């Protein structure tokens, strides 16, 4: 019997993970601000539910978690995928980064994750039960790249996710709650649409991610995510796993 998996986000890596998880028998609950994409995804999943809300809104997140528990009566694992690129809000090199770019990026990438993790942890601790959390970071948090990817609020947000997750992993390990981080390289998702159409970037990525010969597919990240969320990773916590096609070891 599969587990009940809560996923934030409804496109890209979140979508690929939900589909693969459903294929292995998991029940999926999706939280995203985009109701249309939630409906589209859930229509393709045999046992699923969703709640559309702004993940930076405390009460919206609380209502979403309640909806998940009402739908399935339990929650076993959480995959925090939802996040944004702040470039359109003014993110960039720090001396050029706007205050809005910084705030919006940190709120959507870190505050949202804090709110969802907090709610799920309270639920598990209240029942004295085990659980698993996987948080989405980025290779840019650990292997910065000045060329093409100088978005410093984004890098800061993804670094904060790593620090928060490691602190959580240490604290909750005695309670049999695992917390890990996945840090992908550049993946073909709606968020990377700009890069996908830029020939200079695609040529750079073909060199930077030599194992992939370019951008990763969402399924590549989904497979690693499901391992970390599943029972075969039951002895793994406090780890940052890079699925980056060789980014971190390539010049």
Give per-10-residue mean pLDDT for the chain (251 aa). Answer: 94 97 98 97 97 98 98 98 96 97 98 98 98 98 92 98 98 98 93 79 93 94 98 98 96 77
Write down the mean pLDDT value for the chain.
96
Q: Tell me: the pLDDT tens digits for 14-54?
A: 999 999 999 999 999 999 999 999 999 999 999 999 999 99
Q: Is 8 helix (H, G, I), strand (E, B) or coil?
A: strand
> pLDDT tens across 136-162, in order?
999 999 999 998 899 999 999 999 999
Q: How far is CA 166 from the centre of its chain?
A: 15
Closest CA to 146 of 92, 218, 202, 194: 92
| Domains in the chain, CATH or no CATH each | 4-186+219-249 (3.40.50.720)
Q: Residue 151 phi/psi, 5° resolution?
A: -120, 95
């Amino acid at each position: 019997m599969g587990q009940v998996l809560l996923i934030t986000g409804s496109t890209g890596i979140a979508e690929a993970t939900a589909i693969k998880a459903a294929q292995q028998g998991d029940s999926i609950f999706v939280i995203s601000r985009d109701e249309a994409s939630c409906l589209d995804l859930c229509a393709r999943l045999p046992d699923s539910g969703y709640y559309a809300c702004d993940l930076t809104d405390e009460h919206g997140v609380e209502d979403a978690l309640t909806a998940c528990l009402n739908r399935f009566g339990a929650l076993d694992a959480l995959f925090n995928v939802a996040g944004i690129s702040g470039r359109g809000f003014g993110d960039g090199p720090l001396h050029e980064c706007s205050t809005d770019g910084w705030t919006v990026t940190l709120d959507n990438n870190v505050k949202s994750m804090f709110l969802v993790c907090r709610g799920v942890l309270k639920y598990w601790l209240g029942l004295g039960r085990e659980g698993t959390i996987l948080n989405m970071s980025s290779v840019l948090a650990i292997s910065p790249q000045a060329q093409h990817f100088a978005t410093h609020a984004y890098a800061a947000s993804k670094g904060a996710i790593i620090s928060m997750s490691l602190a959580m992993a240490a604290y909750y390990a005695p309670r049999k709650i695992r917390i890990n981080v996945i840090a992908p390289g550049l993946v073909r998702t709606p968020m990377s649409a700009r890069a996908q159409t830029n020939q200079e970037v695609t040529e750079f990525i073909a060199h930077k991610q030599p194992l992939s010969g370019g951008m990763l597919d969402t399924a590549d990240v989904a497979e690693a995510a499901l391992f970390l969320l599943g029972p075969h990773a039951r002895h793994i916590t406090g780890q940052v796993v890079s699925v980056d096609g060789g980014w971190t070891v390539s010049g």
